[in-house]
Amino acid sequence: MSELMLAFEKEAVNRQHDVANIIASGASSVEKFYSGTNVFVTCGSGFLGKQLLEKLFRCCNVNKVYLLLRAKKGKTAQQRVKEILQDPVFDSLHNRKAKFADNVLAVSGDVSEVKLGLSASDWELITGQVNIIFHTAATVNFNESMKVVALTNVRGTREILRLAKCCKELRSIVHVSTAYSHATHSRVGRAVKEQFYDSPVPPNAFIDLAETIDENKLENMMQQVKADWPNAYSFSKALGEEIVRSEAENLPISIVRPAIVISSYREPLPGWIDPMNSLGPSGLILGLMTGIIHVLRTRQNIVLSLVPADLVTNTTLVAACETAKAQTNKGNIKIYNITNNRNPLLWSELGNVLETFGRKLITSRAIWYCFTIQTTHKFLFTILFWLLHYVPAFIVDTACRLTNRRPILLNIYEKVNKLTSALDFFTNNDWKFQDDNTLSLHKNMSIIDRDIFNCDIATLDRRECIKVWTYGIRKYIIKEVDFQRQGEIDRKQFLLKIATYFIFGIYIYLFYI
């Protein structure tokens, strides 16, 4: 298994060398579009933002990239840039283009603020120099308040458009939304097309309410309006798209809608993933690999729409290039769904890969035997969640208190409960995402650009994607890459398995007496 991953990583290094030669030859039309441009990126500190930044410098020969960043935890925006560039995703870029960091510049601001919180001088700088805008910033917390998503995801998009209208040298904008912006309760099992849908509420009215009324009152007012959406995040992204439709007239803009973004497949490193992704779907895999999660409520026959981060980055970059050709949209803003319905992965297939390959990646830090019971029944899931999570956690935490140690398991399972509850809608439903525009984007490129900026999910091995994702979680989130201890891990798992059967025996005994 370690040999397989080392082969993937060696392949990635060799590929980067080949791509560098192609870029140097001037054979890539996508590279020509970006060469010498100044780019503005919101949320360059995020998962997709880092991926985008890395590829812009590695394959696109941009001049400068401005990152919109807040001062945070006592660090200025520019200090945060230095911290961001220490991420492993930039390792090969540091080796190949040591001075690229000099052209990554922080712009202090906040997407949730009016005029993005930019100073007058920074507003003038951006509007005077920037050619391309990538709006990737958003709060992705499914349980976020209505006020926060209104100001960040909806008003933030409006402020980006207002900035864009003032840019003197603007060539293209890409707004990053989500494939689930209109994957609602009423559309379960139906098509989600690459088109605009009716907005649940006028977005400017929503913004006005968020700016003027109490947070609790806003929550109550929105309960009925957002009932068809599973969470505040997808609801707000639907409104963000409506802002684009209604206020981006004559702007060269497009929308990309990725589904569930997992680790990179090959670029720049197989399996690279941001540790913050442990708060999303990657957290489920992390919980399984560490023996924390033992029960899930899922439907085995649904299609999981998982897409690697590098495919999302490629599509975003090519969409900006294609959008610039039209100069203005003239009422035809293109939307690109980035999903895997043409290369579907069933939940049952994911389980099979994790049971075979994933067991080889169980970490030495696993706290218990790694196993999972899956059910479609909510009541049974609740009972099992208590028996397999809360009850053992209560016993262990009680023992910790008696021995003057810090109890942590109940707190962990509270977070697990929030995570599984937030993802429940997506692990039990699916939609027929259409991606004709994205496929056309891929087909319209030259053979060279199709290779460098691959946008076609059907060209990827879906089972291999899962293996690489699992490996990436162990390497970049758990930060464990020592595979020499596998025998020790297997022995530990065997002992924990015996202990698990013993506990099951006690449960069965107590049930029958």
Q: Is the pLDDT of residue 82 over 70?
A: yes
- What pLDDT, in 10s, does the model give residues 60-71? 999 999 999 988
User: Which residues, listed in sequence order, are joined to residue 173 by a DSSP beta bridge?
Assistant: 133, 253
Q: What is the band of 25 on the pLDDT scale with cuts at 50, 70, 90? A: confident
Q: Count CA within 13 A, CB hemisphere, residue 455.
A: 30
Average pLDDT on 385-408 reads 89
Q: Is the pLDDT of residue 489 over 70?
A: yes
Rounded CA separation 263/38 (Å): 27
Instruction: Return the SS3 of 339.
Output: coil
SS (H, E, C) 135-182: ECCCCCCCCCCHHHHHHHHHHHHHHHHHHHHHCCCCCEEEEECCHHHC
368: its two tokens: 């218990």
pLDDT, residue 51, reads: 94
Instruction: Check if CATH label 3.40.50.720 holds for domain 27-267+305-344+431-459.
Output: yes
Instruction: Return the SS3 of 276.
Output: helix
pLDDT, residue 24, reads: 81
Average pLDDT on 265-287 reads 88
Rounded CA separation 51/69 (Å): 16
Q: Are 90 and 82 in contact (CB under 8 A)?
A: no
CA distances from 486 to 177, 351, 359, 466 (A): 41, 21, 10, 20
351: its two tokens: 């389980």
Q: Is the pLDDT of residue 148 over 70?
A: yes
Rounded CA separation 163/156 (Å): 11
pLDDT, residue 513, reads: 67
28-42, 230-244, 271-285, 422-436: which has the minimum mean pLDDT? Answer: 271-285
Four-point Cα dihedral 364, 368, 369, 373, nearest 10: -130
- What pLDDT, in 10s, does the model give residues 84-142? 999 999 998 998 888 899 999 999 999 999 999 999 999 999 999 999 999 999 988 88
85: its two tokens: 């560039």
- What pLDDT, in 10s, does the model give residues 157-178? 999 999 999 999 999 999 999 9
Domain boundaries, the chain: 27-267+305-344+431-459
Q: Specify the amino acid at residue 231.
A: N
CA distances from 54 to 86, 96, 223, 316, 398 (A): 12, 12, 40, 13, 47
Rounded CA separation 91/88 (Å): 5
Q: What is the band of 22 on the pLDDT scale with cuts at 50, 70, 90? A: confident
Q: Count CA within 13 A, CB hemisphere, residue 391.
A: 12
Considering the chain, what is the average pLDDT of its residues?
Answer: 89
pLDDT, residue 10, reads: 77
pLDDT, residue 328, reads: 54
Average pLDDT on 416-435 reads 91
Phi, psi (rounded to 5 degrees) for 272: -60, 135
Rounded CA separation 477/496 (Å): 23
Would you call 198 exposed, middle or buried from its count of C-beta atoms within 10 A (0-12, 13-18, 19+)?
Answer: exposed
pLDDT, residue 3, reads: 66
Which is more confidently placed, 134 or 349?
Answer: 134
Contacts 24+ apart (CB under 8 A), 408-416: 412/292, 413/292, 413/389, 416/287, 416/292, 416/293, 416/389
Q: Is the pLDDT of residue 366 over 80?
A: yes
